[in-house]
Structure 1
Amino acid sequence: MRSIDLIASAIANTFRSKTRTILTILAIFVGAFTLTLTSGLGTGINAFIDDTVTSIGASDVMTVTTTPEGATGVDATDPVKYNPDAIASAQPGPPGSTVVALTPEDLEAIAGIDGVLDVQPTRAISPDYIQAGDGTKFVIGVGILIAGQTIPLEAGVVPDDDATDLQLVLPVAFVEPMGLGDPERAIGETVTLAITDAERTQHFVEATVVGVAEEGLASPAGASIVPNTALSDALFDAQNTGVPDDEVERYAQASVFFDPAATDEEVTALKRRLNDAGYTGSTVADQLGLFKTVIDGIVLVLNAFAIIALLAASFGIVNTLFMSVQERTREIGLMKAMGMGNGRVFSLFSLEAAFIGFLGSAIGVAVAIIAGSALSSSLSTTLLADLPGLTLIAFDPVAIAGIIVVVMAIAFLAGTLPAARAARADPVESLRYE
């Protein structure tokens, strides 16, 4: 029997017992459907994170902080010893989070580390509120815009650091509540920032809205304004009124610039040198990599359930083919009596198993793509509308093909036992079988 005839015969024999075969295909369908959806979930979210890292730029900058003494191995619930050099952290974290302040001496030490091209301290600014005219006062922060980063904008332009007038980018979530209408109408409006100094005196600084930032996973704005240099200086000076000069130059973190052409190995080596000097460095990709780690962990657990479903389905394949071998005993004896070798018999039943796996996986993948695309499209306009550019469930053709191949391989392996039994059948005994 030629190979093409063998394949045609295997396909035809698959549906001899339609009910049994359909039930087996449905079991495979469940596993393939789940595996495709979870794979699409991981692909979609990780692609969004990668696109976010690319779009915000700053690939040649890392954020550096002082490594706390004894930080390794300390339980998060343990009381933290008082450190007179600790200041409020500039990064999101639990209330009261602090870091050891970077001083001018630290900045000089960092600048001297091999691979560091420049160091710029990040100033922590904490305004009391923001207000448009006599409207409602809202709590807001001041975003940290690392040089080289870009701001995804709904409208307007980024602040001009060379301008002498005070400019800012406002998060889109604040536009309507502050009574500024829509993003386009907010451009050019004047807002007031209140900030309290060390002597408990409140200062009021007026600035012009030149841009409105989109909401996003790693937007430099977030729930904060992004000021230009002139506004940042004005707020910083107002906040530090009454602070001794030696206390002003204390920074939560600094931006370290390195060679844009540096390889991953060179960046890792730079982090190691910073660590040896008592500092911790992380890039934007590192920070967003935490999201990817969590998502990959969730996807792995969901994939495990899908694999369990496929393994359960494989027992259905074994049962289906064993019953088929039992029912076709005389037919197997006749094929062998006519000269079909053991290898051909084995291949015939193995191909039936692989075809059942193909049908179940193909149907499962097709339904998962349709359902996943519809769900992702629906969520992008409802729950995930604040994350523009996110396709929650995206499908990679290579991954889809891989799922079908894996399921067929599992089905093929499940069919080897009954196929081997058929191949070992004695033709004389098989022809006598009633």
Structure 2
Amino acid sequence: MKTRDVIASAVQNTFRSKLRTSLTVIAIFIGAFTLTLTSAIGAGISSFIDSQVGAIGAPGVLTVTPVPEDAPADDGPAVYDPDRATGGASIDGPPGMAGGGMNQADLDRIAEVPGITGVTPAVTLPVDFVETAGSQRYELTLDLATGLFIPDLAAGAAVADVDERQLQLPADYVEALGFADAQAAIGQPVTLGVTDAVGGHHEVEAVVAGITNPGLMNLGPEGNQALADALLAAQRTGVTGEATPVYLAADASIDPASTPEQIAAIKADLVDAGFQGMTVADQIGAFKTVIDVVTSILNAFAVIALLAAGFGIVNTLLMSVQERTREIGLMKAMGMRSGKVFGLFSMEAVFIGFLGSAIGAGVAIATGLIAAPLLAEGLFAELPGLEIVRFEPLSVAIIMGVVMAIAFLAGTLPARRAARQHPIEALRYE
């Protein structure tokens, strides 16, 4: 009997007991359906997280903050040191200032750490409110755009280093400020309110350069250097003398191709210098861990279902061997070797596994494609760009292969039992 004849005979024999085969296929279907769907959900969420991290240039950026030298080991409050006060800090003093701030000397120390190619202080600009003609006033926490991050834009462009005062706003400001949509806000004037050192109120005009999509790593409102200069000039109205800039954090740029070991070495050197550095991946690592754990738990239930299906395959084929004992004896008496008999029953097990996995994967894909748009427009409407399920052909093929391998292993015992049948004894079986 040729191989193709063995396959054709196995497929035909599978449907001899339709009810028994169907029940076994259903058990395999449940496991394959769950594995395919949870794998797609995990891939979709991981892809969304990676895209959010990649969109802001995270592979090449470390957020650096000072670590107080006298911070207690139990993470309690640090003892007050008057020498670290903002006003009295020497530019040659230790890193870190009051409230965890940094001065220019701290930035210089960070820049000296091997592996760091540049340092830009994270600056929060003084803004009381933002408004447009006819709109209400809304609170605004505005940062200076450093150029290290690539915003995920819904419309327009990132703020640029030009003379025009430019502002970049999140999508939730569009409707509040009276714009029809994100595109309609581009190039429109807005007014920013700021209070100076002696209590006077000033208004600074700017234009909207870009609107960012909401997401995991929302950068928030940002302004360019021209807007920052105008706001700081308004704030310093009435101030005499020079003020020492204080920064709460800094963005340190590194080689985007740095390996995890190299990044770890840079972090260690920063700790030795009195600072701590974190990538965006570090900050969202716990979130990804939760997703991975939930996916693993769901996959575990799917594996349990597949193991139960494996026992179903064993039972199905053992019953088939018993019912076809005389047939097996006849095939062996006519010259069919034990290996071919083993292959015949093993192929039946594999075919049952193929049916269950193919139907399970197909239904999972159909369910995902139908449910994904509905969830994207409803429950996950606040996360544009989220691909709730991501079916990757390779993953689906691997799942089907694994299910078929489990089916093959489950069919090994019945197949060996059939292959070891003695033709004379089998022909005498009643």
Paired position in structure 1 for 2:190 = 191
Answer whether contact 1:68 1:99 (CA < 8 A) is retained: no
The Cα shift of 1:148 comes to: 3.0
What amino acid maps onto 1:19 in structure 2?
A: L
Q: CA deviation digits over 1:12-46, x for unaligned, max 9?
A: 11111000101110111111111111111111122
Question: What is the correspondence of 1:133-282 to structure 2 with a 5 Å cutoff?
Answer: 133-143=133-143, 145-163=145-163, 165-196=164-195, 203-221=202-220, 225-236=221-232, 248-260=244-256, 262-282=258-278
Q: Deviations over 1:381-406 (max 9, x none)?
A: 33334433322111111111000000
Q: How far apart, CA to CA, are the structure 1 residues paired with 2:401 and 2:6?
A: 20
> Tell me, what secondary structure is at the counterpart of 1:407?
helix
1:337 and 2:336 correspond: no
> How far off is 1:369 after superposition?
0.9
Q: 1:428 aligns with which of 399, 424, 429?
A: 424
Distance 2:239 2:79 in 1: 21
Aligned pair partner of 2:364 in 355, 364, 368:
368
Q: How many residues align?
A: 417
Identity %: 51
One-letter code of the match for 1:393?
V
Does residue 13 of structure 2 align to residue 8 of structure 1? no
Q: Kindly indicate whether the alpha-carbon contact (under 8 Å) linking 2:59 and 2:257 is maintained by their aligned counterparts in 1.
A: no
Coordinate RMSD, CA, aligned: 3.1
Question: Closer, same or farther in 2 for the Cα pair 1:183/1:58, shift >3 Å?
Answer: same
Q: Structure 1 stretches of 5 or more lacking a match?
A: 88-97
Q: How far apart are the structure 2 equivalents of 1:10 and 1:112?
A: 71
* C-alpha separation in 2, matches of 1:299 and 1:220: 29
Residue from 368, 377, 380 that aligns with 1:381: 377
* SS class of match (2:319): helix
Match for residue 397 of structure 1?
A: 393
2:353 is the alignment partner of 1:357: yes
Q: Which of 184-193 and 9-18 deviates more?
A: 184-193
Q: Give distance in 2, aligned partners of 1:410 and 1:144.
A: 57
Match of residue 301 from structure 2: 305
Residue 93 (structure 2) aligns with: none
AA at the equivalent of 1:180:
F
Q: 1:102 to 1:21 in 2, by over 3 A?
A: same
Aligned pair 1:37/2:33, yes or no?
Answer: no
Which residue number in structure 2 is paired with residue 95 of structure 1?
none
Cα distance between partner residues in 2 of 1:336 and 1:359: 28
Q: Distance in 1 between matches of 2:402 and 2:99?
A: 49
Whether the aligned pair in 2 keeps the contact of 1:120 and 1:256 (CA below 8 Å) is yes
Superposed displacement of residue 326, structure 1: 1.6
Partner of 2:90: none
Which secondary structure does the structure 2 equivalent of 1:176 belong to? helix
Q: What SS does structure 2 have at the residue aligned with 1:388?
A: coil
Alignment deviations for residues 83-128 of structure 1 (CA, whole Å, 9 cap, x no partner):
56699xxxxxxxxxx9732233322211211222222211234634
Which of 409, 414, 418 matches 2:414?
A: 418
- Map of 1:121 onto structure 2: 121
SS in 1 for 2:205: strand
Residues 70, 78 of structure 2: 8 Å contact kept: no
Moved more, 304-313 or 165-174: 165-174
Counterpart residue number, 2:57:
57
Question: How many Å apart are 1:423 and its aligned residue?
Answer: 2.4
1:66 has 2:66 as partner: yes
DSSP-derived class of the 1:256 partner: strand
Q: Which amino acid aligns with 1:127?
A: V
Assess, with a 3 A threshold, how the Cα gap between structure 1 residues 243 and 66 changes in structure 2: closer, same or farther.
farther
1:237 Cα offset (Å):
5.5
Q: Which moved more, 1:369-378 or 1:209-218?
A: 209-218
1:135 to 1:346, Cα distance in 2 relative to 1, 3 A: same
Q: Note if contact 1:170-1:211 (Cα within 8 Å) is conserved in structure 2.
A: yes
Query: How far has the Cα of 1:8 moved from its partner?
Result: 1.6
Query: Shift of residue 327 of structure 1?
Result: 1.1
Alignment deviations for residues 290-317 of structure 1 (CA, whole Å, 9 cap, x no partner): 4433322221121111111111111111
TM-superposed deviation, 1:285: 4.2
Give 1:22's aligned residue: 22
TM-score for both structures, normalised by structure 1: 0.85
- How many Å apart are 1:374 and its aligned residue? 1.6
Q: Structure 1 residues 378, 340: CA separation in 2 closer, same or farther (over 3 Å shift)?
A: same
Structure 1 stretch displaced more, 230-239 or 370-379: 230-239
Q: Are the aligned partners of 1:144 and 1:220 in contact in 2 as well (CA < 8 Å)?
A: no
Contact 2:196 2:202 in 1 (8 A): yes
Q: Distance in 2 between matches of 1:266 and 1:187?
A: 41
CA distance in structure 1 between the aligned counterparts of 2:290 and 2:80, rounded to whole angstroms: 32
| Contact 2:332-2:423 within 8 A present in 1 as well | yes
In 2, Cα distance between equivalents of 1:315 and 1:135 = 68
Name the CA shift for 1:430/1:196 in 2 (closer, same or farther; >3 Å). Answer: farther
Q: Whole-Å Cα distance in 1 between the matches of residues 338 and 40 of structure 2? A: 42
Contact 1:195–1:238, Cα closer than 8 Å, also in 2: yes
CA distance in 2, matches of 1:113, 1:263: 17
Report the Cα distance in structure 2 between the residues aligned to 1:390 and 1:14, rounded to whole angstroms: 42
Which secondary structure state, in structure 1, belongs to the residue aligned with residue 177 of structure 2? coil
Give the Cα–Cα distance (whole angstroms) in 2 for the partners of residues 384 and 216 of structure 1: 11
